[in-house]
Structures are given as structure tokens and as C-alpha cells.
Structure 1
Amino acid sequence: MLKVRIDGMDGVRSRIQVEAPVERVEEEINAVARSYRKKLQIPGFRKGKAPLGLIKARFREALQNELFSEWVPKLYQEAIDQEGFVPVAQAEIEDLECQPGDPFHFTALVELKPNIEVTGYDDLQATRPVYKVREEQVDQWLARQQDRHAQIELVHRAAREGDVILVDLQRTDPGGIPIVGERMADQQIELGSGHSFGEAFDQQIVGAGEGEERRVELTGPDQKPVFFSVKVKEIHEKTLPELDDDFAKDLGFDTLPELREKVGAGIQARMDEASEEEMHSELVNQLIANNRFDAPQTMVENYLKSIVEEVKRRSSEDFNEKALREQERGSAIRHIKTHLILQGIARAEHISVPDEEIEDPIRKAAERSKTDFEALRDAMKEDGRWERMHSDLLEKKAMDFIVDHADIKEVVVDLEKSDLVVPASVADDLKAEREAEEIVLTE
């Protein structure tokens, strides 16, 4: 067992002093020396047969260098695991000492995840808003599905509201002279759909025929007039499918009433999730107020880095990385504080997550993907997904504990009179994969 001592330095980094006993030092030196001996041809001895003492004496500096490079990282990790420390940055190793017959010493300078002693979490108060799905919301979802499944047909008549038109747009000056670099070809626009060009555009284009070119005047963001020459290339009429049992069958249900019921249940489930999120947010606000501490800067920066990488992964468009980091910094600090507080509550209340609770969803994922369970589990342990799942489950249990011990009052919210915006969107296609921000309906 290693001797480990930790000292605070500047409130951020810690100095971890590690000592390995003499016996282990000798074992490691001998192992390195034996490895050297196999490769060396020393005069007077057959290759690989020189005395170990001679190898250690003649190549002491080289042996120590190899010992430092190979063994120190392992000892550092062993010390971290032994003491239960969680580093949040790469350690700096210094003060290595290895004298014959003495223990091996080194010091690691590293920022550790702090263990927060949380107070004021067993008598909180919060409101759980109760939302009830309305028929209008079901109607809106069904209308979106009708729109997605609409038939588009090329027609040869004047453009009407609701038509989908294909146009070339050329921005001009007030006199009608084209502005170089301000041309947008083959733009598809649905008249009356609330598109980015606005209602004024629709009013000036409705009635235009195929091949006709019109001059359009709009109002820019600075409230100044903006001029376009718009050429209508094609006009398409959109026909919505009838909202009946056949439509329901196309979406995987037997009847329209059954579809409406499933849609309502799906929206209600998402509303219930939103209700829980609002209640949790209120509780977290109180926990942060009751426990004042600075979020470790490295953890904040690591979190911001993960956001930037996720945006890069999801979008091919360029974006201002610095601006994104500053925009998300407040939420990053809140996220890190919430994480540390919930982890602290879990420690204080001896909340744990058995391996079985992590393995169950992994086993199901392995069955769905026809992957070997043990191989998937080991891969997840290797790449950090196991630890993230453990952390998420632990924090969920900690939040459940807080809710169980809090004074929660339910308040019915009238969505027609409330300013609250409640997520009520659903997956565009019942056969699509689950997306985090949408509701998925199941039979």
C-alpha cells in the first residue's frame, strides 16, 4: 500500500505526496534491470547472463529514467484510486527521489474534483406545475403531420397563399440595380407559412404567374427598406391528406381516435417531464443559494469544450467558438455546481448505484444491436460511458431524495392564461428514432 498525503496549495490545485515502500522499489528496479540484461552484451559475459548487480551499478541512471517514465504514471493512478481522488486535469509530477535502500518519493500537482459538504437540503420548498394537454395541441400536432404528408403538384396558374413556389431572388438598390453577391437562386418558399421573408413578401407575390418577375420591397432588421427582384420559376399546389382512419393507418394506428389518444398521451408525458424539470430547477436554485462555492475553472472549461465539440459534430456551419463559450458559461457553472452538490448529497446520505442498475440498460442495448454484452460493457468502462451512466444515476437518486424530503405543492397551470412555454412538440415521424427534445409515441 502506498503512503499518500495531500496538501492544499492555492485553493485550486492540490499537492499529492506519494511514497512507495523500499520492497516495491527494489522489485521494480530489478524488473527493469532484468529487462535490460536480456538486451545487453557485456564483455566477459554471455548475452543476457551478466550479474543483476553489475547491470544495476553500471546503468543506474538509465534504469532510473525508465523507472520514472514507466512506473510513476502507474503509481500516481494507484494513489488516486487508493484515496478516491478524482482529478479534473493532467497532473504535474515533480520532486522525484529514488536513492538505493530508500522509499521512492514523488509529488503530483493536480486539480481535484472538490467534495462539497452540502447543507440545507432536507427542508426545501418548491412548486410542481401541473399541465393538462388540450385538444388544440393534439390538433396542432396532427396538422403538422398532415403538412408533412402533403402532396405537391406542379400547376400552371397564378400563385396563391399556401402554394410552394420556386424563385430566384436578386437584391437590388432602390433604383433596381442588382447588388453583386446578393443573389439567391432556386429558393423554395411556401406562401403563408410564416417564412423568414415575412407576410409582406407573400402579399406582393400572390397573384404572380410562372416566369413572372416582380420587384418586392421589404423592411430590414434596421427598419430600412430592402429591395428584391423576384422571378417566379415554378408554382406547386399543396394538397393535405384527409384527417381520417386511413391517415391514422399511415402513421401506424388503426383508427383516428386511437391516434388522437396516443398523441395526447405523448404530449402529456412531455408536459409531465417539463413539470419535473421546472420543479427540479427551483430546488437546484435553493441548493446553490444555500451552498456558496466557486465552480472549479477546469471543470467549467471542460464542460464548455464538450459543448463546442457537440456543436461541431452536429453542424457543418461555421460559428464563433469564443462567443458560444461566453454564451454558455453561466449554464456551465450552474451545471458543475449542481453536479457537485448532488454528488455531495449522495455521499452524505450513503446513496449508491449497484453495478446491476448500470448493466441492465447495457444488456438491453447489446441485445438490440446483437453485440456481446461483456464486450460492450468493457468498452463503455474504457471510454468513460460507464462512469457517466453511474454519475447520472447517482445524481438522479440524489434528486429523488431531495424531492422526497421537500415540501412540494402542486399548482394547476392554465396554459391559455399562463406565459409559461411548455414543450409540446413530438417526433415528426412516428417511426423516427427518439430525439431528446421531442415526444415519441408508441403503440
Structure 2
Amino acid sequence: MKVTVSSPSETIRTLKIEVPADRIEVEIEKETENIRKNVQLPGFRKGKAPLDMVRAQYRKKIEAAAIENVIDENFKEAIGSEKLNPFGQAGISNVKYEPGKPLEFTAVIEVKPEFSISGLEGIRVEREEQEVTNEMIEETLQKIQMRFGTVRKKNEAAEIGDQLLIDIEEVDASTRVPLIGKQYPDLKVRLGEKIRGEDFEKQLIGAKAGDTILVTEKLNQYFITDPKQHVQQNPTEAHHMVKVKEVNILELPEIDDELANEMGYENVETLREGVRASLIAHLEDSAKEKLRDALERETVRIINPPALQSMVERYLDYLEENVKKRSNKPVNSRVLREENKEAVTKKVQWYLIREKLIEQEGFEVTDREIDEYLEQYAKEHNMDPKRVKIENRSEEKRSLIIDTLLDNKIFDYLENKAVVSTFKKR
């Protein structure tokens, strides 16, 4: 077998492979014998027809199967001898075969790029600092009040602060015919919370129990009005028939010792302390995630490895599939992919850098570290450690924990090399 390898790019290898004729003939003989075992030609018992007759009658089928087997076997042999590790499936083309002559074919494969991690010392990133304010505490206490509040029906029109019980049904924009699978009964919406968006809620202000209202909702730029269009149109709208079943006044409890006791606190003061501690932890987690995002972005910018295009396309395929599943509206695939390609490419670059860092720095996770992680999780969530370990013993969950712990080591490594300045968020 003769193999010639070329490198059109850092991630592409083209293999031109030539297989001696005698190897093709051996495979043709094997395929001829396989077919003879399973066919019955006139005048002969099954499996007893002469090989020449079988070969003559099934020549194309025999050659096609033999060529496929030879290409598969010799491709594997070629990448082994050339020490190549393909990523994804190979593209086979330019297959040339004539009886008695060598078989020629071309295989194009994608390989992970070769690069090293360096130049990360002194990279500059910012860490966000944000103090817990009295306003944050009061806002959290208001949410607690709403959680423990009681509702009372009212006959008057809905206003900000009221809680509505509604049925939502998405309809066709022109015919108002309900769309299949787009019915959402018994939803609770508190006007002013803006969970479904400010515009959506504004259209419900003034509604009374028993009213049915047509509510419009803007869609994002990936949706198109006309499936035949190949250019992006103006953002379209989804149309909902909203039936108001109830309008309720939400009566809030006092922030007092009784409410604090219901939540497991001794009094209002300890409740406020608990809220403050929770907010501090939340802000710290948020700052940590933002710092990690900054470290990731800067590392990708500095190392800038070639991205595996097949992986980029698979990510975009997954994104497109999910967007289409979430809507009955046509999706402009071209715009969707173009808008997200840069971000997806950077994620693929980070994936390659992450793998290289794990290999280069020898990062690994021990069983003891996994146990300590689960014990800490159990402590933070007031759970039985044994139960937590049992619930996380599957290979899938264990793999997720390992990834989390490896990420911790990677970002600790990057943060130690970085120059981190802090700024206060106002």
C-alpha cells in the first residue's frame, strides 16, 4: 500500500492511497464466496453454483462490496501507519478501480491542531465587586412576602401588583386559528414582575375575569415571515389569545417574627442576616462566573488555536434544531448560523485549549476529591452525604463532577497567572 499525506490546513489531512491489485483480488474472491453461499442459480443447489457463474451474474455487487471493504481496511491501516488521529468521519472520494490494476482513493480527515499553551503570564482581567445594599435585601424580602402571600379574587380590572390566572393559546396571525401544541393552561402571572416581558404584561392591565384578549409578542431576529425568503425580514410577532380566568389581589404578610419562624429563622433580624448572607453568596458566585468568562475569552484570544470546523457545524446544527423545536414559525437558518458562528467557534477553541491544558499540566481528579465535593454539596444543601453519593454514582453523573473539578483546577491555574484588578459595580 502506498500513502501520500498532504496538509491543506492545520486541521485537515488529505491521504492519497493506492492499494495493490492483488489485495483487491483477494477481497473479490472472498465476496464471491460469500454471495455463492446465499444464492441458488438455475440447475444448482443453494451454495453450489460455480464461482465463475456467480462472479459473472453478480459482478457489480461483488466489486462494490469488495471495494468498500478494501477502502475501509486500508484507510485504517494508513492512518495507523501515519500516526493520525481523525476527528469525526473521513470523506472518501476519487475512487478509481479497474480489474487487474491498483485501487486508488482519496481520504480527507480532520485532526486536532498541534499547539502549546504559552504567553498567559500577566493576562489582564477584571473581577467585579458588588456590595449587598438595603434595596437588594428589601427586594428579596418582598419576593418572600409574595411567596407566602394569599390571594383574594377581585371583580375590578387588573392593575400592577395583581395576580392573574390565565390560559394562553398561540394562534395564526391572519386566521386566528390555534396552533397545534401551543396551548398553555392555568398560568399564574403577577403584573409588574415582567417574567413574560413588560410588553406582554402591559396588554393585560385593565383586563377582568372572563375577558379574552389578543396579545402580541415580538419574536427574535431568527424568525422569518415568509419561508421562501432568504434574507432577514423585520422581527415578526407571535399572537396569543389570552383568557383571563381570575384576577386576584395578592395580600402580603408582614415581615415579622412569625414569617421568620415559618422560614426557619428565630426572628426578623436573623431572617435579614440570612437574606444578606444569601445575597453575598449569590454575588460572589456571579462575580466568579464573570471572571471565568473573562479568563476564557482572554485565553482564547491569546492562544487562538484553529477550530475544528466539523465540531463548529455540529454545534450549529444542534442550535438550529433546538430553535426550530421551540417554534412553529419558519426559521431563517442562514441568519441563525451566521449570527452564532463566531461565538460557537470560540467555544470550540476553548474546548481544544481546555483539553491541551489538562494534558500539558497533568490535571486529574482523584476519588477522594470527588468524595469531598459530594460531602460539601450535601453540607450546603442540608442532605445526607450517603444519599448524595448514592444518587451520584452513575458514570454520567460522575463524569459531570469530574468535569466540574477539572474546570476548577483549570481556572485556578489561569487566575494564578493573570493580573486581576477589581472594580465596583454601581
Coarse TM-score class (shorter-chain normalised): 0.5 to 0.7
Residue 230 (structure 2) aligns with = none
Q: Is the aligned partner of 1:341 residue 2:353?
A: yes
Label 1:6 to 1:141 Cα distance change in 2 as closer, same or farther (>3 A): farther
Instruction: Indicate if the aligned counterparts of 1:18 and 1:107 stay in contact, CA closer than 8 A.
Output: yes
Displacement of 1:139: 3.7
CA distance in 1, matches of 2:47, 2:109: 41
Residue 407 (structure 1) aligns with = 418
State how 1:388-399 maps to structure 2 within 5 Å: 397-399=409-411
The residue type equivalent to 1:407 in the other structure is A
Residue 384 (structure 2) aligns with = none
Displacement of 1:120: 1.6
Displacement of 1:262: 5.8
Instruction: Indicate if the aligned counterparts of 1:120 and 1:287 stay in contact, CA closer than 8 A.
Output: no
State how 1:148-227 maps to structure 2 within 5 Å: 148-156=147-155, 162-164=161-163, 196=198
- Which whole-Å deviations, capped at 9, do the CAs of 1:275-319 have from their partners, x for residues lacking one? 233333333443344345664554433322222223344x34636
Displacement of 1:33: 3.9
Instruction: Indicate if the aligned counterparts of 1:88 and 1:298 stay in contact, CA closer than 8 A.
Output: yes
Identity %: 25
Displacement of 1:154: 1.3
Aligned residues: 368
Displacement of 1:44: 8.5
- Which whole-Å deviations, capped at 9, do the CAs of 1:239-276 have from their partners, x for residues lacking one? 1234456656766x465677666655554444333323
The residue type equivalent to 2:413 in the other structure is F
Instruction: Indicate if the aligned counterparts of 2:132 and 2:279 stay in contact, CA closer than 8 A.
Output: yes
- Which whole-Å deviations, capped at 9, do the CAs of 1:58-103 have from their partners, x for residues lacking one? 866533311233563465467668845343566233335587697x
SS at match of 1:236: strand
Residue 69 (structure 1) aligns with = 68
The residue type equivalent to 2:123 in the other structure is L
Match 1:351 to one of 345, 356, 362: 362
CA distance in 2, matches of 1:395, 1:72: 41
CA distance in 2, matches of 1:240, 1:292: 54
CA distance in 2, matches of 1:101, 1:192: 79
CA distance in 1, matches of 2:69, 2:159: 75
Displacement of 1:105: 5.3
SS at match of 1:63: helix
Residue 216 (structure 2) aligns with = none
TM-score (norm. length: structure 2):
0.60
Instruction: Indicate if the aligned counterparts of 2:164 and 2:245 stay in contact, CA closer than 8 A.
Output: yes
Residue 92 (structure 1) aligns with = 92
CA distance in 1, matches of 2:198, 2:406: 44
CA distance in 2, matches of 1:279, 1:97: 58
Residue 143 (structure 2) aligns with = 144
Label 1:48 to 1:127 Cα distance change in 2 as closer, same or farther (>3 A): same
Q: Is the aligned partner of 1:32 residue 2:40?
A: no
Match 2:391 to one of 339, 345, 368: 368
Displacement of 1:116: 3.5
Match 2:289 to one of 277, 287, 297: 277
State how 1:13-52 maps to structure 2 within 5 Å: 13-18=12-17, 29=28, 31-41=30-40, 47-48=46-47
Instruction: Indicate if the aligned counterparts of 2:300 and 2:350 stay in contact, CA closer than 8 A.
Output: yes
Instruction: Indicate if the aligned counterparts of 1:116 and 1:340 stay in contact, CA closer than 8 A.
Output: no
**RMSD between aligned residues:** 5.8
SS at match of 2:248: strand
Label 1:353 to 1:187 Cα distance change in 2 as closer, same or farther (>3 A): closer
Displacement of 1:38: 1.4
CA distance in 1, matches of 2:274, 2:29: 71
Label 1:109 to 1:84 Cα distance change in 2 as closer, same or farther (>3 A): closer
Instruction: Indicate if the aligned counterparts of 2:4 and 2:16 stay in contact, CA closer than 8 A.
Output: yes
Q: Is the aligned partner of 1:287 residue 2:299?
A: yes
Label 1:141 to 1:279 Cα distance change in 2 as closer, same or farther (>3 A): same
CA distance in 1, matches of 2:15, 2:349: 24
SS at match of 2:105: strand
SS at match of 1:109: strand
Instruction: Indicate if the aligned counterparts of 1:28 and 1:67 stay in contact, CA closer than 8 A.
Output: yes
Label 1:157 to 1:368 Cα distance change in 2 as closer, same or farther (>3 A): same
Gaps of 5+ in 1: 168-179, 213-231, 419-443
Displacement of 1:48: 3.0
Q: Which segment drifts farther, 57-66 or 336-345?
A: 57-66
Displacement of 1:8: 1.8
State how 1:229-248 maps to structure 2 within 5 Å: 235-243=247-255, 247=259
Displacement of 1:332: 1.9
Instruction: Indicate if the aligned counterparts of 1:130 and 1:410 stay in contact, CA closer than 8 A.
Output: no
Displacement of 1:352: 5.8
The residue type equivalent to 1:72 in the other structure is I
Residue 227 (structure 2) aligns with = none
CA distance in 2, matches of 1:356, 1:81: 34
State how 1:109-124 maps to structure 2 within 5 Å: 109-124=108-123
Q: Which segment drifts farther, 336-345 or 50-59?
A: 50-59
